[in-house]
């Protein structure tokens, strides 16, 4: 293992250098991948030196998500202390089902969950778990709601005419999960959004009434803190009044921007969160931990036990339920996703997490200001969003994103809302500073300045 | 990041030394955990030196799953090259949904999947995905079967009287998954097992006939390669004749021992695998990669698309479907679990994987032989199993396991089958050699020799 650790350090240093010197890897056309790189798996072993060279070539061609030119997805950058924690998880290799096998790692996970529950004003009956991604956090929430409002469903299958609600701008996992839990996609109502992408609360109530009139059983509302394209925040407080009135489960999908709970300046964006039944956030998004670190907390932990516990005597052989987190998880064997977040949080404190969040809003504000003052850009984003959506000149967003990527200039994606398609640049990498934002725009301008001279 | 990498190396070396010098960490009673270790998360940051000492204490008290005294679960040990690959995944931090963001890592994943499909004789229409654990692989298989035999279910919820079949000795995830997909636990039939823990194939057919007579719709049979307690292999070939005859989906849950496909000597244990509709294996079990590395392959990839694809224009912006694995995965954002297995396989070759598998059967045979020749032991295991189940003297299995753990002697668990409860020692750590197996038994004997003098 010593030699492998040494090789790891060498390759990691190589990667870090590449992130600066070649921040956007030359993309290989998918058709040419297998002829460009030797990815074959063969009968016989290879020499360590061959393996090393093979890994170096792969690293060279792998997209650099921690570079200053990566704005393509809802994650990016690297928090050193979080990475340290995750590297240790790989070495320790505990499975998070039992206290016997995971020991203090269970306490680490529980401390994160309990601290978040307390921060958002959940009751003492609250608890949570780590899910394999934000989609799966939403899945677990919808499943717990199903089992609460149709208690026979886990034994008999769904027996009641359940209806779920989410906004038309919410994440695609809501519809996928409705299929997964046996509800069926047709039993989800997509509530229209306002001009900023926030759920229209009145339309929600109207739809609930309509469904009740039809004899259907509304049971679950998904609100979003940070919609996928616009980064909009649904009004949790207004929605929670409706879910209380009609006795529905309220889940807040904060995969993208739920980490605003760590910021005194921005936590007002999820005002009313203490009234939700469940809440999820991805620390691998705003907080920059390695993938994945998805947290789900629940106001009343009995729902976790009801939906996810199972008797398995061969597994749970010591300690009480509360310290055997396999009883409340989706999976059985489960990777340790907690240590990376704990290491980061312990190291920089809640103050440090707050600074990461605030920085992202500050960078987004700077980007919006840049766009507004520049006549060649059109802005589609609003205040309080770290998704900065824009178009440049009359270049189609898809064209711009693809060309900049194919020419290794930068990585950014596009999205659509309100009848417009635009570039979506996300200021989620807290390691960046003002100059990096200016560089982003100047990269676009320089690229199209040269190209336009040639092509038009 | 350089300092963090340096600190990681230091802590990793510390861990490796502890694995030898203190192979079984002193367990902390769960009630005393928070007073023994400072796991608190606070408002303010701490100094790097404090963090380091805090992490060292945590590492000291965390169970050492790579030590030579860890026999507690269906994983253990450490394959250096696999660990190297997983450490690189943490640094690279690609999300495996699109080719644009994961690049060659997609090719690495696909190469593993395609190579396995070919090895087990699947057709050219086959493909697969990586799931977050073996339970979730089983989940995906059952869901695809649901959507095949009740094609309206993903839109409307389950509309047909579906019935699933698995043996009474299969993994608990089958029942949990029946609840998860909206089938309901009552719609699973637990087929009795023979004296070795293998599904009784005649009983399976009888039950299918009974259900058909009742107007129910049998749709899914789960067979197991390596049952959780006994490590038994269901007879895939016999079962597949029944599933062909009655047109049912046959899934082979090889989470524990599916890796026998890599061994010419032991692949006969899954004879008939080419007739299955889906097959899963956990490389983090027999092949010693870090958690988790769960692979699911499917005879006809259209089922993956049917059940797991979703339109998400903001995400899939370049390259064809086949190179955007987010269209066939359970999750949206997804950690790279492929590179660790690729690095190991590339390095040691299929021959090397075969040697890992063969070694485990050889160690198990040695352990059984030891038990048989020693009058103080009772053996409950059979040939062709790496679960070595036994009792020692008249000491209750639970007592033995708990005492050895509390006294930091070794970590092993217990299980039940056929009316007996016994110690289940698993020879899944290929790094071990004959002497380590002898040490295991001698540790027990020495421990109880001294204790018996005192206590009896």
* ipTM given for this complex: 0.96
DSSP state, residue B373 = T
Beta-sheet pairing, A217-224 with A162-167 = parallel
Contact B100 A63 (CB under 8 A): yes
Last residue in a domain, options B284, B312, B343 = B343
Q: Which of B106, B142, B143 is nearest to B334 (CA)?
A: B106
Q: Please report where in the chains the tokens 């393996």 appear, as a residue.
A: A51
> Is B136–A331 a contact, with Cβ atoms under 8 angstroms apart?
yes
In a domain, B353, yes or no: no
pLDDT along chain B (456 residues), means of 10: 95 97 94 95 96 98 96 94 98 95 96 98 96 97 98 96 98 96 98 97 98 98 97 98 98 98 98 98 98 97 91 61 87 95 98 98 98 97 97 96 95 96 97 97 93 46
Closest Cβ opposite residue A132 in set B313, B314, B331 = B331
Which structure tokens are listed for B234?
């269901």
Query: Is position B259 within any domain?
Result: yes
User: Is B225 part of any domain?
Assistant: yes
Examine the domain organization and report whether A270 and A133 are in the same domain: yes
Q: In chain B, which among 296-315 make CB contacts under 8 A with chain A?
A: 307-308, 310-315
**Closest residue by Cα to residue A443 from A379, A414, A400:** A400
Question: Chain B residue closest to A311 (CA)?
Answer: B172
Instruction: Give every CB contact of residue B16 below 8 A, 6+ residues apart in sequence.
Output: A1, A2
The residues, any chain, with a CB within 8 Å of residue B160's CB and separated by 6 or more, are B149, B150, B153, B217
Q: What is the pLDDT of residue A334?
A: 95
Query: Residue with structure tokens 């921040």?
Result: A23
A67 exposure class (CB count in 10 Å sphere: 0-12, 13-18, 19+): buried
The answer to whether A330 and A308 have CB atoms below 8 angstroms apart is yes
pLDDT on residue A319: 62
**Does residue B216 sit in the same domain as residue B283?**
yes
Give pLDDT tens digits for A262-306: 999 999 999 999 999 999 999 999 999 999 999 999 999 999 999
Q: Tell me whether residue B398 is in a domain.
A: no
- What are the distances in angstroms from CA A389 to CA A71, A365, A367, A421, B225? 12, 12, 10, 9, 51
Inter-chain contacts counted by CB atoms under 8 A, chains A and B: 428
- Residue range(s) defining the domain that contains residue A275: 84-343
Identify the domain boundary among B286, B309, B343. B343
B342 in A contact zone (CB under 8 Å): yes
Asked if B102 lies within 8 A of A62 by C-beta distance, the reply is yes
**How close B182 comes to chain A (CA, Å)?**
4
Same domain (yes/no): A129, A235 = yes
> Which one of A15, A37, A346 has the shortest CB-CB distance to B46?
A346
One domain for residues A209 and A237: yes
Residues forming beta bridges with residue B295, ordered by sequence position = B130, B281
What confidence score (pLDDT) does residue A316 get? 62
For residue A425, give the chain B residue with the closest CA. Answer: B314
Bridge-based pairing state of the strands A411-417 and A420-426: antiparallel
Which site among A87, A130, A156, A283 would you substitute to test the B interface, given the most B Cβ atoms closer than 10 Å to its Cβ? A87
Nearest to B95 by CA among B313, B338, B343, B340: B338
Q: Residue A313 pLDDT more than 50?
A: yes
Residues 211-250 of A with CB under 8 A from B: 228-229
Nearest CA to A355 among A442, A264, A225, A229?
Answer: A264
Residues of B in contact with A25 (CB under 8 A): 103
Q: Where on the phi/psi map is residue A11: left (φ > 0), alpha (ψ -120 to 50), or beta?
A: alpha
Chain B touched by A43 (CB under 8 Å): yes
Residue A321: predicted pLDDT: 74
Q: Identify all chain B residues contacting A307, using CB atoms and an 8 Å cutoff.
A: 179
Backbone angles phi, psi at B7, to 5 degrees: -65, -40
Furthest CA-CA distance within chain A: 73
Q: What is the dihedral of CA B186, B189, B192, B193, to 10 degrees?
A: -110
Nearest CA in chain B to A153: B184
H-helix or E-strand containing A90? helix A80-92
Q: Is the domain of B269 the same as that of B139?
A: yes
At which of A12, A36, A65 does a domain end? Answer: A65
Whether residue B94 sits in one domain with residue B61: no
The percentage of residues in chain A with a pLDDT greater than 90, rounded to a whole number, is 93
The dihedral built from the CA positions of residue B441, B446, B451 and B452, taken in this order, carries a sign that is: positive
Mean pLDDT of A101-115: 97
Residue A311 confidence (pLDDT): 60
Q: State both tokens at B235.
A: 């007879």
Q: Is the pTM for the entire model greater than 0.90? A: yes
Apex A133 CA angle, B277 and A345, nearest 5: 150
- pLDDT score of A453: 43
Q: Which two tokens stand for residue A400?
A: 């711009």
Is the CB of residue A243 less than 8 Å from the CB of residue A235? no
Say yes or no for a CB contact (<8 Å) between B312 and A66: no
CB of B179 less than 8 A from some CB of A = yes
Q: What is the pLDDT of residue A114?
A: 97
- DSSP codes, A114-182: HHHHHHTT--TT-EEEEESSHHHHHHHHHHHHHHHHSTTHHHHS--S-EEEEEETTS-THHHHHHHHTT
A379 touches chain B (CB under 8 A): no
Are A91 and B228 in contact (CB < 8 Å)?
Answer: no
Q: Are residues B115 and B58 in the same domain?
A: no
Per-residue pLDDT at A317:
64
Q: Are A12 and B317 a contacting pair at CB < 8 A?
A: no
| Interchain CB contact of A203 with B (< 8 Å) | no
Rounded distance between C-alpha atoms, residue B406 and residue B412, angstroms: 11
Classify residue A198: in a domain, yes or no: yes
A169 plus A300 within the same structural domain: yes
Chosen from A159, A332, A351 to mutate, greatest number of chain B CBs within 10 A: A332
Q: What residues have CB less than 8 Å from B123, skipping those under 6 apart?
A: B299, B300
Whether residues A148 and A273 share a domain: the answer is: yes
| DSSP one-letter string for A244-290 | HHHT-EEEEEETTTGGGGG-TTTGGGGTTGGG-SEEEEETTTTT-PS
Is A24 within the bounds of a domain? yes
Q: Give the pLDDT of residue A456.
A: 38
**Beta strand spans in B33-137 (E):** 70-71, 127-131
| pLDDT value at residue A455 | 41
Nearest to B155 among A43, A105, A186 (CB): A186
Angstrom distance (rounded) from CA B52 to CA B1 = 15
**Beta bridge mates, A188:** A164
Cα–Cα–Cα angle for A13, A293, B326, rounded to 5 degrees? 90
As a whole number, mean pLDDT of residues A329-352 equals 96
> In this structure, what CATH number is given to the domain that contains residue A237?
3.40.640.10
Q: Does B181 touch chain A (CB under 8 A)?
A: yes
CA distance B36 to chain A (A): 10
Cβ-defined contact of A292 to B335 (cutoff 8 Å): yes
**CA-to-CA distance for A233 and A261, rounded, in angstroms?**
13
Both A17 and A152 in one domain: the answer is no
Are residues B256 and B231 in contact, defined by beta-carbon separation less than 8 angstroms?
Answer: yes
User: How many structural domains does chain B have?
Assistant: 2
Q: Is residue B434 part of a domain?
A: no
Q: Is residue A14 part of a domain?
A: yes
- A174 and A120 inside one domain: yes
The arithmetic mean of pLDDT across residues A90-118, rounded, is 96
Output helix, strand, coil percentages for chain B, rounded to the nearest 5: 50, 15, 35
Q: Do the chains contact at B317 and A173, CB–CB below 8 Å?
A: no
Alpha helices in A315-433 (DSSP H): 338-372, 397-406
Chain B residues close to A308, C-beta within 8 Å: 176
Q: Cβ–Cβ of A342/B405 closer than 8 Å?
A: no
A163 has a pLDDT exceeding 50: yes
Nearby residues of A380 by Cβ (< 8 Å), 6 or more positions away: A230, A389, A390, A391, A417, A418, A420, A422
Cα(B420)–Cα(B378) distance, rounded to whole angstroms?
Answer: 11
B425: part of which helix (H) or strand (E)?
A: strand B420-426
Determine the residue of chain B that is closest to A227 in CA distance. Answer: B314
Same domain, B226 and B183: yes
């Amino acid at each position: 293992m010593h030699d492998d650790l040494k090789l790891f350090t060498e390759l990691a240093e190589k990667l870090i250098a590449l992130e600066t010197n070649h921040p956007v890897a030359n993309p290989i056309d998918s058709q040419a991948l297998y002829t460009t790189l030797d990815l074959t798996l063969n009968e016989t072993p290879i020499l360590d030196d061959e393996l090393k060279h093979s890994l170096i070539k792969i690293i060279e061609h792998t997209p650099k998500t921690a570079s200053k030119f990566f704005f393509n997805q809802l994650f990016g950058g690297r928090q050193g202390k979080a990475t340290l924690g995750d590297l240790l998880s790989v070495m320790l290799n505990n499975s998070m089902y039992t206290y016997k096998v995971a020991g203090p790692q269970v306490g680490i996970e529980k401390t994160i969950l309990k601290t978040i529950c307390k921060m958002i004003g959940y009751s003492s009956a609250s608890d949570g778990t780590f899910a394999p991604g934000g989609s799966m956090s939403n899945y677990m929430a919808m499943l717990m709601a199903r089992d609460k409002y149709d208690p026979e469903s886990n034994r008999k299958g769904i027996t009641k005419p359940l209806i779920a609600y989410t906004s038309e701008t919410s994440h695609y996992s809501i519809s996928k999960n409705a299929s997964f839990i046996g509800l069926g996609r047709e039993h989800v109502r997509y509530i229209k959004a306002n001009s900023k992408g926030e759920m229209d609360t009145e339309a929600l109530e109207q739809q609930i009434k309509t469904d009740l009139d039809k004899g259907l059983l509304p049971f679950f509302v998904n609100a979003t803190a940070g919609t996928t394209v616009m980064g909009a925040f649904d009004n949790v407080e207004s929605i929670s009044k409706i879910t209380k009135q009609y006795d529905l489960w309220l889940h807040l999908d904060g995969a993208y921007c739920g980490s605003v709970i760590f910021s005194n300046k921005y936590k007002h964006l999820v005002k009313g969160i203490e009234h939700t039944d469940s809440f999820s956030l991805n620390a691998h998004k705003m907080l920059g931990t390695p993938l994945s670190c998805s947290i789900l907390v629940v106001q009343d932990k009995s729902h976790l036990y009801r939906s996810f516990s199972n008797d398995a005597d061969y597994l749970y052989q010591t300690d009480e339920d509360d310290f055997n987190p396999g009883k409340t998880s989706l999976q059985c064997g489960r990777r340790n996703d907690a240590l990376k977040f704990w290491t980061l949080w312990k190291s920089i404190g809640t103050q440090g997490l707050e600074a990461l969040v605030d920085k992202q809003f500050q960078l987004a504000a700077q980007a919006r200001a840049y766009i507004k003052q520049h006549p060649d850009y059109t802005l589609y984003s609003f205040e309080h969003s770290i998704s900065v959506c824009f178009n440049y000149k009359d270049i189609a967003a898809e064209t711009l994103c693809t060309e900049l990527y194919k020419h290794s200039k930068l990585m950014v994606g596009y999205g659509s809302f309100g009848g417009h398609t635009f570039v979506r640049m996300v200021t989620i990498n807290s390691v960046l500073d003002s100059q990096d934002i200016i560089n982003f725009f100047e990269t676009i301008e320089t690229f199209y300045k040269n190209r336009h001279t040639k092509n038009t």
